[in-house]
Amino acid sequence: MVTVRAPATSANLGSGFDVFGAALSRPADVVTVEKAAETTIEVTGVGAQYIPEDPEKNTVGAVVEALDAPARIHIDKGVRPASGLGSSAASAAGAAVALNRLYDRGLSRSELVPIAAEGEAVVSGVAHSDNVAPSILGGFTVTTTEETHSVDAAIPIVVCLPDVAVSTRDARRVVPETASMDALVETVGNAATLAVGMCRSDPDLVGAGMNDPIVTPERARLITGYDDVRRAAFDAGAAGVTVSGAGPAIISVCRDGDRRGVAAAMLDAFADAGIDARAYQTRIGQGSVVLDE
Ligand SMILES: Nc1ncnc2c1ncn2[C@@H]1O[C@H](COP(=O)(O)OP(=O)(O)O)[C@@H](O)[C@H]1O
Ligand SMILES: N[C@@H](CCOP(=O)(O)O)C(=O)O
């Protein structure tokens, strides 16, 4: 038996659509696997009632297939599904790390990234790696079709999750098919600034690099109260604010000591818009950890 804790993640970070991701120190899924002749999946925890236990429909089923590793699998969800916090990815990442260990497949963490991404294709139609990479490797990650790089970054974060669901599959339908050269130049400049900020663990540079004029404005329209919550977070001291993943969670990058005030301001702004929400005071953290074997 192997048990792995796989963290929530925030993808895109504004300017890095389908490329940037960050592991969050909390919340997390806990995935336990045991060898079995046939694969079975049991799901408990936050939002478990919305998650299919059929291996054909659960993200971990694709990981079992890719590793040829049938197992009895228990997923304890700490990351709510359809959150923008990499819920589907956390289970896939945890299963990839756990099954690799259970069956002694000998794959490196980097080699597990494309395998876990197969799970994302099951739910969103695209095997994007920007959530599974940080959930496996930890830190701030940059993924391309060729490779993944990860950097440890000490950055305080608040993610605020409203009590509404946005599926990644639906939110990918609003992504524009084209962009102007001006918008591309602005986005590349912001993304490069953000990457330098991560390498320096500098929340001001990271925050300055989060703006994205192409995808985020379309995604923000799907989140009631987005503009007010964003403004409230900046007024409370956030260095940068954007949609987390495909939403509806909103991520704020903070300076040390500012998380409590930013979290309260974001919750108040959602409440003013008539929406219940939960805020996690978290930080960029480690990837999947083997808890027991
Ligand atoms: N192990 C899993 N954990 C979470 N969601 C899963 C899992 N397997 C399948 N799903 C499905 O994936 C969808 C949520 O994924 P997604 O829309 O990408 O949201 P998130 O941003 O939270 O990952 C839901 O329809 C859910 O039922
Ligand atoms: N790059 C993807 C990331 C989706 O993240 P999730 O946490 O919402 O699953 C996208 O923006 O579609």
Strand, helix or coil at 61? Answer: helix
Counting from 1 in the atom list of ligand 2, the atom nearest the Cα of 172 is 12
For the CA of 127, the nearest ligand: 2
Cβ–ligand 2 contact at 134 (below 6 Å): no
CA of 70 to the centre of ligand 2 (A): 28
Q: What is the ipTM of this complex?
A: 0.97
Predicted confidence pLDDT, tens digits, the chain (293 residues): 999 999 999 999 999 999 999 999 999 999 999 999 999 999 999 999 999 999 999 999 999 999 999 999 999 999 999 999 999 999 999 999 999 999 999 999 999 999 999 998 888 888 889 999 999 999 999 999 888 999 999 999 999 999 998 888 889 999 999 999 999 999 999 999 999 999 999 999 999 999 999 999 999 999 999 999 999 999 999 999 999 999 999 999 999 999 999 999 999 999 999 999 999 999 999 999 999 88
- Provide CB contacts within 8 A for 165, sequence distance 6+: 50, 81, 82, 83, 248
The pLDDT assigned to 293 comes to 84
| Structural domains of the chain, ranges and CATH numbers in brackets | 2-151 (3.30.230.10), 156-283 (3.30.70.890)
Task: State both tokens at 242.
Answer: 């954007």
Closest CA to 219 of 169, 175, 276: 175
Question: Is 120 a known active-site residue?
Answer: yes
The pLDDT assigned to 236 comes to 98
Task: State both tokens at 232.
Answer: 């409230």
The pLDDT assigned to 127 comes to 86
Chain centroid to CA 251: 11
* Predicted structure pTM score: 0.96
Closest CA to 3 of 100, 88, 94: 94
